[in-house]
Structures are given as C-alpha cells and as structure tokens.
Structure 1
Amino acid sequence: MPSLFSSHQLGGLTLPNRTVMAPMSRVRAAAGGLATPAMAVYYAQRASAGLIVSEGVQPSLVGQSNPGTPGLHTDEQRDSWRQVTDAVHVNGGRIFAQLMHGGRVSHPDTTGFQPVGPSAVPGEGSVFTPNGPRPMPVPRALATDEVPEHARSYADAARRAVDAGFDGVELHGANGYLISQFLSSNANLRDDRYGGSVANRVRFAVEAATATVEAVGAARTGIRLSPGGGGIWGVWENDAVELNTALLAELARLDLAYVHVTATADDDVLLRLREAWPGTLIVNPAVPGGPRPAGPADADRWLGLGADLISFGRAFLANPDLVERLRTGLPIAPVDTETFYQGGDAGYITYPAYRHAVA
C-alpha cells in the first residue's frame, strides 16, 4: 500500500506526496472575475500539497454560479491568474484550475442571463446573488444545437488556463453543476441525443472532456464526479453504477490524467468505479456537508482500498501546512465556517502554520 507521503506520477508531473487540496469556492475574486494578490498568497501558502485544484472557475459568463468567483473566459482574467500560478510554482507546488459551469445553479442577478440547463427543471435551494440568497429560477433548456457550444467552453477556458501557467485543468462534473445536471436522472429530462439513455446522458461530459483534451492534452485534463449525485442542488443519479461505469469507459479512451470522486455514494459503488477506471483515481473521503473533514485515518483507508491520491477540503483551509501536520501527527486546526464566503483576508490568508511551543 502506498503511503500518503510517497510520490506519484500524474501525467508529466511528479507529485511529491499523495495529498490533493480539493477545490473550494472562496468568492474572493475582484470585479470582472479577476484573480487577486490575496488569492496568490492563499494558494502559495498551501503549495506543499502534492496537487492543488483551484476553486471553481467559470468558463463563460452564463456559466457563473455565484458572485465573487473568478473566470477564465477573457484575456484579462487569464492574465490575472499568472500571479497565482507563479506564486504556487515559486513555492514548489503544482496547480490545476477547476472549470465549473454552474448551469441551472445561477441567477440573473449575478450574470444578467437566465441560467441554462439540460431541461427546464429548477435546482433545489437558494443560490447566492449580489442581492442576497435567491431561489434558483427555472433554467432555459438548451436547444440541441446549443449544447456543443457549452461543451467547448471548457476547452476554451482550458487554453487560457494553460496560458496562465496552470499545470492542467479539472472539469467540474460533480455537485449538481452543468455536467452533473446532464448526467442526472432527474435534472435531465431531454429526449434528444443528450438525454434519456445512459449513453445519451454521458454524451455532454464526454464531449466536454474530448474538446479539452484536444485543446490542452490528456495529461493536463482531469474530471471530478459525484457518483449518485448526493442530492446536491437537487441532483440525483438513480443508476449510479451503470451511468458512471459507462462514463469511465468513454473517458478511459481519452487517457485523462485522473478521475476525482467524492463520497456521495456507498463504498461499494466507489469500489466498482475504482475497478472500472484504469488510471489515477483521487478520492475525497469526506461526505459533502458532513459533520467533519477527512482525516489521516480516512486517507489510509482509501489508499488501502486502491485510491492513488486523497483530496482534503476543509482541513486545508485552516491548515496551510496540512501535509506537514499529517506527516508528523500534529493537531489539525478547526476551520471558521463564518469566514468561508465573507470576503477579505480574515479566515483566508490569516491561518498560521503550526507554532511549536518553546521549551
């Protein structure tokens, strides 16, 4: 069994350890979706991770889910990210950009557009807007000839990401966002080639991944999935094993850098997907919205079950030196949930590394 602290080859990258900083929205971008100097500090502080996956980055304006999130659909946004990637690389790290099209998880108050989705089925719950939380509106169902344009938006953003210095990109196919909506058995009610059968429902994800591989290469392309859907934003997959094994079979032909799965399904489902996926598998063991972040015992368990890399979310927020804390058995500091999305530096770049007591 590999150690959490052994190296791993990921495409053209040699990761010095098997910890991955999971993508987490922090809504600290500047106006126009620009990355900021504080974001460069935030990611550089955590560069000891084997791999960092950035917060969700919208590949188009209509794909923006929340206010305050960064983009990669303009040249100005691309240029703003160079300070971030440079800072991570100077500190010895590696970073992928997560490309996240919100689909129906959006609001006109944020983007100026009616959200789009596979079908005219609204998401469940409220979404953040510049005017406070608002119920998600009914999205506009994409016409068949519009769908490829949204698949290509991931590839266009991937080109800008690589130009900005990112080592690669992760397509956000999880957590109820656009790719996840197309995979879903309840958000996708289409009767064209993008809906109905499993083969049709995986088509959008495969087209987005194919376009991205053609744009930046397979070694620079990963995808995140939430098997079963988990009910996040109201998305479910009632045929999780059949659906995800069919998707992985298609993605395997592309030789993606990795697949990143969340614990939204039972272990037996995730183990079936481990068997089905021939490449690098990242597992995030924490249940989304669960009572505690993933810890070292979770990591060891999943490495023993066949995962190649383990992603940590909340633990990385309050512990910029998380890898060293895990390596030496130091306490894991708790995170202040009140500062997740409030903006500013507090609870963002103010968490210290572990301070050893003076004897």
Structure 2
Amino acid sequence: MLGISVYPTKAPTEESIAYLKLAAHYGFKRVFASLLDVTPENKDAILAQFKTVFTVANELGMYVTIDANPRLFDTLGIDYHHLGLFKDLGASAIRLDANFDGLTESMMSYEDSGLDIELNLSVDTGNIGNIMSYLPNKQRLSGCHNFYPQRFTGLDLDFFTKCTEKYRQMGLKTAAFVTSQVATTGPHPFNDGLPTLEIHRDLPIVVQAKHLFATGLIDDVLISNQFASEAELQQLSQLNQSQLSLAVDFEPTATPLEKEILLAHQHFNRGDVNSYSVRSTFVKLQYKDQSIPVNHAGAALQPGDVVIGNDSFGQYKGEVNIVKQPMPNIDQHKNVVGHLVPDEQFLIPYIQPWMKFRFEDAHPIQ
C-alpha cells in the first residue's frame, strides 16, 4: 500500500486538501501526519485544522495515522487509555514515537476507540518481544519506521533488516518512508530529504520504493515530505508492488523481437543460482522456432548488462541473463540488448532463486 504525509501546520489547509485529492486520484490509501509541534497555546487552532484535513481524507477512504509522543499526551491532557480525541479528529491509528513498558502498548491495543497502534520500528529489536509478552491485540498492532531529516543519520540496511524481520516473524504489518526529491516540507525546520534508509536519500523516489518492496519486509511505503510532485505520485502509482520490475536502457541496436522477449514476458530466476548471472530460461521455449541473429555481441560482459542468447547458442538461444560480474562473452553467443539503469543495479542481489521479476523500458514512448 502507498501513502503520503501531510503537515497542515506547514502549509495552507487548502493546499493539503488538494494534495490529498491528487494522491487519492493516483490510488494512494494512507496518510501520515504529525502532531508533535502542538503546544498548549496553539492546540485548539491546530486540532481544528487537522480535523478539517482528516475529514477530507476519510471521505476519500484513506487510512490516517497520527504521530504521537509522551509530550503530546501531556499537552492535550489525555492518557494512554482514553484515545477518543484522536478518533474524533479522524485518525485510524496513532504511531507511538517512543517506547513504553510493553504493558502500556498492549493495553492501548484493546482501547475502546478502536484505533490501531503503530510502534516505532526503527528502535531496538527487543522492544517488540517485550510488548508481545503482554499479549496485545495483534490485529490492531503494526510497525512503522522513522524518517531522518539529517544527512548521514538514516538507518543502515543491516540494522533496518534486523529490526523489521522481528515484526515479520511475528506476523505484524510494517511501513517505511521514502523521500520526494522535489518536496521541501517535513515536520522539522531542517531537512535534507526524509528517508528511512540513508542509501535512499538521493535516489529517485520510485527506486527507493522498489527497494523497500524488494526486501520482502515492508507492506506499506509512505512519502515522508510534502508536496511530492504529480510525476512522482504517478510513477509510484504505476509501481509493481508484488514483484521487482527492473528498468532497462536499451541499446540503439536492440531489435523489436529482443525488446519483446524482455518486456512481454514473466521472468523468474532459476533455482540453481550462480554468482555470474540471473538466468531466465523458460522464455526461450517460446522463441525456439524464431531467429535471433548475432547483434551487438561484444567480447566482454559487464555487471548490469541484459543479454539474450543468439542463434549461435544452440539450446540456449532466447535465454535471458542479467550479468552480475564481469565475464567474457564466449564466442559472442550473447547479444547485449541493454543495461539496467545505474540506480537500480544494486537491486540485482534481491532476485532470489525462483523469484519472479519483470523488465520495463527506462524510456517508454509516451
């Protein structure tokens, strides 16, 4: 599922509402918002503003999460066992930015408002085990990572994986953030992008989302900053969330047949994997009676090359490979049809044995 973030205190209400409607048009189903800048002096005005925005989100059928911490509860004069105020604002869930004692989170998952409880997934990996020991209502429990405004402070991939696997093993849904490369507004005065993972900070937003889904660890991907461009929303709306789809820069020499072999078929990696290439072999059966002439078959292959066996390759004619490491193109049996775009080459290791994947044209004709 895809979502956006809105910060009504940072922009005119009508702009936030217009953004919600645009996102809903492109199939976005979630909204994340932060009340962490509420003070006793401004709380009435801010709550009224949020109520207006969330009412529209509810009308659009969107799932609304409010980020909360202990200071916010004190400011609003409410406790953890009476969450009706958030429900009245139009929230579907509250995200607890801070950990409590385990029993508190467990009790909140049974609270009468019916709000779902999202836990901070970016903290230590033992917290969720403590909460689960108090037998929470798992149907109302999930995890959502942080985002990181300061460059070089986003999560390392290993730590992200370690934390998230704990939730997946317990059958809990998960969410993480990607950052728009054009949006400039977040909940804090300073931001240099707002990703969960540091390696995502400067990547195109669709590549960030591809990576999160490719890990197999994340259910929902949320844009952390507002306002993402319509082009970014549209690109994400077209993303295949169920399997990795890799963008290919085709060689000028690539033939219509070669493009068809890549783009028109479901591919999967063989189960007997190797360290040199991803092999999609079954597609060749559909082209056993067609000619694939030698075409752009150089002497050496490089990581990220996408190649197809040509007529000289006997039973391997039509086999598709993604090259993992440099190797010779022995007897020029393989045509270099194109190359994975540089930003996506780091996704190759996510193609596991028997994993399904697709190709897409990096520069489709509009």
How high is the TM-score relative to the length of structure 1? Answer: 0.47
How high is the TM-score relative to the length of structure 2? Answer: 0.46
The structure whose RCO (Cα within 8 Å, separation 6+) is larger is 1
Q: Which has the larger radius of gyration?
A: 2
More strand per residue: 1 or 2? 2
